């Protein structure tokens, strides 16, 4: 018998658990940045996390956004496709990203931000796949250590799907590759 689609999908964090983790990160970021902070979100995966995190901060906060092209293993680099709108010179910057996997993107972006001479740069990630690091990244703030498997939901996508799911789920990448829509009925129900 073929396995049910849900066999390759596990809930990792529900909306209430995510809110608790985000509030804890927000309290730590606020405590570490009493004079204020500039959150630099990495599009598009950061969007839900950034919106929730920003609302928990208790210090003056600026929001900036940037976007990168997916890491190109053949070219051996990534690149910024949407840069900061203004310099962050002298500001305390927290890079807000949905996931640190190999670390190549976060390492690249920290170096990119440092060229603008901020007072500091710290990395904040929703999920951290520490076992998969190629490049070391100093992650100051992490909500969750990611398990094996591909994460979707709460901003994280597979082929553009699932970003608008309220919780974070662990899925099987091979099953998603075979059918990218396989979890839509469960995670994005039409009657939700
Ligand atoms: P890096 O390997 O640390 O450079 O991460 C590259 C990018 O891969 C991340 O910013 C995500 O966009 C994507 N990515 C890596 N793992 C996952 C995952 O489990 N779910 C969704 N996207 C992922
Ligand atoms: Mg993606």
What pLDDT, on the 0 to 100 scale, is given for residue 70? 76
- What is the arithmetic mean of pLDDT over 144-162? 95
CA count, 13 A, side-chain hemisphere, 42:
27
At 136 the pLDDT is: 97
Mark whether 101 is an active-site residue: yes
Cβ atoms within 10 Å, residue 1: 3
Cα dist from 53 to 65, 73, 143, whole Å: 14, 31, 11
Please give the structure tokens belonging to residue 2.
Answer: 């073929």
Q: Does the CB atom of residue 100 touch ligand 1 within 6 A?
A: yes
Tens-digit pLDDT profile for residues 5-36: 567 999 999 999 999 999 999 999 999 999 99
Please name the helix (run of DSSP H) or strand (run of DSSP E) that holds residue 24, with its range, or none.
helix 15-32
What burial class does residue 74 get, using C-beta atoms within 10 Å of its C-beta: 0-12 exposed, 13-18 middle, 19+ buried?
A: exposed
Q: Does ligand 1 come within 6 angstroms of the Cβ of 104? A: yes
pLDDT digits (tens, 9 = 90+) for 34-45: 999 999 999 999
Q: Which ligand is nearest to the CA of 97?
A: 1
Query: What is the C-alpha separation between 48 and 127, in angstroms, rounded?
Result: 13
Q: In this predicted structure, what is the pLDDT of residue 192?
A: 84
In terms of Cβ atoms closer than 10 Å to its own Cβ (0-12, 13-18, 19+), residue 87 is exposed
Q: What's residue 164's pLDDT?
A: 98
Range 3-7 contact pairs with CB under 8 angstroms and sequence separation of 24 or more:
5/175, 5/182, 5/183, 5/185, 5/186, 6/186
Q: What is the pLDDT of residue 45?
A: 98
- Reported as a pLDDT band with limits 50, 70 and 90, residue 126 is very high
Q: Which ligand is nearest to the CA of 98?
A: 1
pLDDT band at 77 (very low <50, low <70, confident <90, very high): confident
What is the best residue among 47, 99, 175 to mutate for testing ligand 1's pocket, by most ligand atoms within 8 Å of CB?
A: 99
44 Cβ inside 6 Å of ligand 1 = no
Average pLDDT over every residue of 176-190: 96
């Amino acid at each position: 018998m073929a396995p049910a689609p849900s066999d390759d999908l596990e809930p990792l964090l529900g909306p209430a658990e995510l809110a608790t983790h985000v509030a804890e990160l927000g309290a730590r970021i606020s405590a570490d940045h009493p004079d204020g902070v500039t959150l630099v979100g990495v599009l598009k995966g950061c969007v839900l996390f950034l919106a929730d995190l920003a609302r928990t901060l208790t210090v003056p906060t600026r929001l900036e956004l940037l976007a990168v092209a997916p890491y190109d293993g053949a070219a051996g680099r990534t690149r910024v496709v949407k840069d900061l709108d203004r310099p962050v010179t002298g500001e305390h910057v927290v890079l807000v990203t949905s996931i640190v996997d190999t670390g190549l993107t976060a390492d690249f972006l920290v170096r990119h931000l440092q060229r603008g001479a901020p007072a500091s740069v710290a990395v904040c990630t929703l999920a951290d796949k520490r076992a998969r690091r190629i490049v070391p990244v100093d992650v100051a703030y992490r909500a969750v250590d990611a398990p094996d498997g591909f994460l979707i939901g709460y901003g994280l996508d597979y082929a553009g799907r699932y970003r608008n799911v309220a919780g974070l789920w662990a899925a099987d990448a091979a099953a998603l590759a075979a059918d990218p829509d396989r979890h839509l009925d469960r995670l994005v129900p039409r009657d939700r």
